[in-house]
Chain A
Amino acid sequence: MMDFDMGDEVAALRTQLRRLVADEIPHGYLGAFTDDPADLEIAQRFCRTLAEQGLLCMAWPEEYGGRGASPWAQTAVREEMWAYHEPRGAQYMGVNWVGPTIMRHGTDEQKAQHLPAIAAGEVIWCQGFSEPDAGSDLASLKTAAVRDGDGWRINGQKIWTSYATMAQWCFLLARTSKQERKQQGLSIFLLPMDRAGIEVRPIATMMGPHHLNEVFFDDVWADDADLLGPLDGGWQVVQEVLSFERVGIARYARCEKLLAEAPGVLGDAWDELPEELRGRWVTALVHCRRARLLAYRVVARQDRGQVTPGDTAVYRIAATTNDQTSADVLGDILALSDPQGDDGQRWARAVEDHVRYAVSATVASGTTEVQRMLLSRALLAAS
Chain B
Amino acid sequence: MIIDLGDDAAEFGRVVRDALGSAGGDELVQRAEADPAGREALVGDLLGDLGLWELDVRGSGDELEAAVAACRSVGWWGIPASVPERLARPTDLDADALVVVGGPRPAAPVHGSSLRWVAVDLDGRRSTPTARPLPTTPRKAAMVAEVDLTPVDDLGVDDVLFGLLLPCWTLLGMLDRATALTVEYVQDRQQFGKPLAAFQAVQFQLTEAEVERAGVEELAKYATWSVATRRPDALADVLALRLAALEAADLGMRICHQLHGAIGFCDESTISWISRYSLPLRRLPLPVSGTRTELTRRAGRQGIAGLYA
Q: Whose C-beta in chain B lies nearest to the C-beta of A10?
A: B1
- A279 lies within 8 A of B293 (CB): yes
Interface of B is mostly: helix
- A282 lies within 8 A of B296 (CB): yes
Tell me which residues across on chain A come within 8 A of B180, comparing CB atoms: 383
Q: Is B123 an interface residue (CB 8 A)?
A: no
One of B61, B215, B244 near A1 (C-beta < 8 A): B61
In the bound assembly, the distance between CA atoms of A317 and B215 in angstroms comes to 11
Q: Is A263 an interface residue (CB 8 A)?
A: yes
Minimum CB–CB distance from A204 to chain B (whole Å) comes to 32
Q: Is B221 an interface residue (CB 8 A)?
A: yes
Q: Whose C-beta in chain A lies nearest to the C-beta of B309?
A: A260
Q: Is B153 an interface residue (CB 8 A)?
A: no
- A2 lies within 8 A of B307 (CB): no
Q: Whose C-beta in chain B lies nearest to the C-beta of A72?
A: B1
- B1 lies within 8 A of A296 (CB): yes
Q: Is B301 an interface residue (CB 8 A)?
A: yes
When each residue 221-261 of chain B gets 1 if its CB lies under 8 Å from chain A and 0 otherwise, what string results? 11011101000000000001001100000000000000000
Binds A, one of B3-11, B101-109, B136-144, B156-164: B3-11
In the bound assembly, the distance between CA atoms of A382 and B207 in angstroms comes to 13
- A293 lies within 8 A of B307 (CB): no
Q: Is A40 an interface residue (CB 8 A)?
A: no
When each residue 1-36 of chain A gets 1 if its CB lies under 8 Å from chain B and 0 otherwise, what string results? 111111100000000000000000000000000000
Q: Is A348 an interface residue (CB 8 A)?
A: no
Q: Whose C-beta in chain A lies nearest to the C-beta of B60?
A: A1
Tell me which residues across on chain A come within 8 A of B296, comparing CB atoms: 275, 278-279, 281-282
Minimum CB–CB distance from B271 to chain A (whole Å) comes to 15
- A282 lies within 8 A of B303 (CB): yes
Known: A282-B292, A290-B219. A2 touches B197 (CB 8 A): no
One of A283, A294, A380 near B183 (C-beta < 8 A): A380
Tell me which residues across on chain A come within 8 A of B210, comparing CB atoms: 314, 375, 379
Q: Is B269 an interface residue (CB 8 A)?
A: no
Known: A2-B65, A282-B292. A372 touches B6 (CB 8 A): no
Q: Whose C-beta in chain B lies nearest to the C-beta of A267?
A: B301
Minimum CB–CB distance from A325 to chain B (whole Å) comes to 12
Q: Whose C-beta in chain A lies nearest to the C-beta of B203?
A: A376
Q: Is B187 an interface residue (CB 8 A)?
A: yes
Binds B, one of A45-53, A115-123, A168-176, A251-259: A251-259
Q: Whose C-beta in chain B lies nearest to the C-beta of A303?
A: B1
Q: Is B155 an interface residue (CB 8 A)?
A: no
For window 112-162 of B, CB contacts with A under 8 Å fall at none
One of B183, B200, B304 near A379 (C-beta < 8 A): B183
Q: Is A58 an interface residue (CB 8 A)?
A: no
Minimum CB–CB distance from B122 to chain A (whole Å) comes to 15
For window 1-43 of B, CB contacts with A under 8 Å fall at 1-6
When each residue 164-204 of chain B gets 1 if its CB lies under 8 Å from chain A and 0 otherwise, what string results? 00000000000000011001101100000000010010011
Q: Is A300 an interface residue (CB 8 A)?
A: yes
Minimum CB–CB distance from B210 to chain A (whole Å) comes to 6
Question: Which residue, of A72, A318, A369, A372, has the highest number of chain B Cβ atoms within 10 A?
Answer: A372
When each residue 264-306 of chain B gets 1 if its CB lies under 8 Å from chain A and 0 otherwise, what string results? 0000000000000000000000000000110110011111101
Tell me which residues across on chain A come within 8 A of B95, comparing CB atoms: none
In the bound assembly, the distance between CA atoms of A382 and B176 in angstroms comes to 13
Minimum CB–CB distance from B8 to chain A (whole Å) comes to 10
- A4 lies within 8 A of B303 (CB): no
- B207 lies within 8 A of A79 (CB): no
Tell me which residues across on chain A come within 8 A of B295, comparing CB atoms: 282, 286
Known: A256-B308, A279-B293, A285-B304. A290 touches B244 (CB 8 A): yes
- A2 lies within 8 A of B308 (CB): no
One of A5, A281, A372 near B207 (C-beta < 8 A): A372
One of A270, A371, A372, A382 near B301 (C-beta < 8 A): A270
- B307 lies within 8 A of A286 (CB): no
Q: Is B96 an interface residue (CB 8 A)?
A: no
Q: Is B110 an interface residue (CB 8 A)?
A: no
Q: Is A297 an interface residue (CB 8 A)?
A: yes
In the bound assembly, the distance between CA atoms of A372 and B221 in angstroms comes to 25
In the bound assembly, the distance between CA atoms of A279 and B183 in angstroms comes to 33
Counting from the closest, the 9 A-B pairs by CB-CB distance are A376-B203, A263-B301, A293-B218, A260-B308, A290-B215, A1-B61, A260-B309, A372-B207, A257-B308
**Given A256-B306, A313-B207, A372-B207, 7 more pairs with CB closer than 8 A:** A2-B221, A4-B222, A256-B309, A293-B218, A314-B211, A372-B204, A376-B206
| B positions within 8 Å CB-CB of A | 1-6, 61-62, 65, 179-180, 183-184, 186-187, 197, 200, 203-204, 206-207, 210-211, 214-215, 218-219, 221-222, 224-226, 228, 240, 243-244, 292-293, 295-296, 299-304, 306-309
| 23 A-B pairs in the complex with CB atoms less than 8 angstroms apart | A1-B2, A1-B61, A1-B65, A2-B3, A2-B6, A2-B65, A3-B1, A257-B308, A260-B306, A270-B301, A279-B292, A279-B296, A282-B296, A282-B299, A283-B243, A285-B306, A286-B304, A290-B215, A292-B306, A292-B307, A300-B3, A318-B214, A372-B203
